[in-house]
Amino acid sequence: MKNIKYILGFFLSLALVTSCQDDDYVFGELVTPSNVSISAQIVGADADNPNGDGSGFVNFETTSENAITYSYNFGDGTDVAVSATGNISHRFSVTGLNSYVVTVIASGTGGISSTSTINVEVFSSFEDQEARDFLSGGLGNSKTWYWAADKVGNIGLGPNNPRPGNEHTYSQYFTADPWLSDKLCMYDAEFVFTQNSDGGLTMEQTVKRAYTPGDFAASIGVAGDTCHGIAVAPTLVGVKNVSMSPSSSTATIDGDYRGTTLNFSDGGFMSWYVAVFSVEIIEITESTLFVRMTDSSNSDFAWYCRYQTDNPND
């Protein structure tokens, strides 16, 4: 009996040794990328226009030794982009002449990386004066907007990432009926757009409402699917500057949207609070505004909001 125990013990020990040997991995030589070099070509740049033709496009090329991939942070708040070759094109969309610090991370085997930066000054002349006039009523005027509470689709939800059949361009998941019961607290919000004599555009919420949908509310630890005030969303208050930039999302391209994005300064937003301060215009007229935005708590969610100049509460 004692001999049997010794034999079993021997085989168990052998199995443990074999198992440990099976878990040994060989990663190969770990080499840090070196001689990282970045160059930038601003599209349309010449002696008369050193900062480009106003399109905002810049072509980047990064080379190095022993790099596998290159990750670009363009310094303008857009997502990091990855290139296997080091070549990539990016559009800087903030209107005017702006300086950006572009950072490139060259990654080698085992995740070892080297970083390099380059400064670029890019001119973007994008403008949508018609949309500016629709929002405000023209130079020197103001216009008040309201939720389209009495319309189908005053709120909608759909996927953000590209899907077959262009489902990412409309509210595939959910489309609100008029006067949706759990949204009643937000339907009296008001938004005043003003265009000064120089063409500058501002927006102010004069009736303060920050509606927080469920998933986003959970991400910041507050009650969801209800309205909050400045305790939850302090950027509700104040006049916000509004700039316009070209929309470049897949949804804008595939959905044939207008191609204009509204950017609100200082954390501005139009009542629907998901900590996103830019919206893509889908459609706009003198009396209607239909926009799309992402959700900062879930990158697969895209929200759709409808506004109008007729007060539905009258």
Sign of CA dihedral 279, 189, 168, 151: negative
Reading the block at residue 93, the tokens are: 């969309």
pLDDT at 28: 59
Lowest pLDDT segment from 38-42, 57-61, 75-79, 277-281: 75-79
Look up the pTM and report it.
0.71
Tell me the residue range of the domain where 262 lies: 129-308
In this prediction, residue 111 has a pLDDT band, given cuts at 50, 70 and 90, of: confident
Judge if 138 and 240 occupy the same domain.
Answer: yes
Structure tokens at 285: 């007229």
Q: Are residues 137 and 276 located together in one domain of the fold?
A: yes
Calpha distance 37→40 (Å, rounded): 10
Q: Name the band, by pLDDT with cuts 50, 70 and 90, for residue 76.
A: confident
192, 222: one domain: yes
The mean pLDDT value for 258-279 works out to 96
Mean pLDDT of the chain: 90
Q: What pLDDT is attached to residue 158?
A: 97
Query: Do residues 178 and 230 both lie within one domain?
Result: yes
Q: Specify the number of domains making up the chain.
A: 2
179 and 214 in one domain?
Answer: yes
pLDDT band at residue 280, thresholds of 50, 70 and 90? very high
The position carrying tokens 């300086």 is 99
Q: What is the pLDDT of residue 126?
A: 87
Q: Is residue 26 part of a domain?
A: no
In this model, does residue 100 exceed pLDDT 50?
A: yes
Is position 45 within any domain? yes
Domain co-membership, 291 together with 179: yes
Q: Is the pLDDT of residue 60 over 70?
A: yes
Query: Is residue 201 a contact partner of residue 136, using CB atoms and an 8 Å limit?
Result: yes
246 and 165 together in one domain: yes
Is pLDDT larger for residue 27 or for residue 93?
Answer: 93
pLDDT in tens, 33-52: 999 999 999 999 999 999 99
CA distance 51 to 46: 8
Does 59 reside within a domain? Answer: yes
Q: Is the pLDDT of residue 190 over 60?
A: yes
Residue-level pLDDT at 248: 80
In a domain, 256, yes or no: yes
Domain boundary residue, one of 124, 151, 169: 124
Residues 282 and 158 reside in one and the same domain: yes
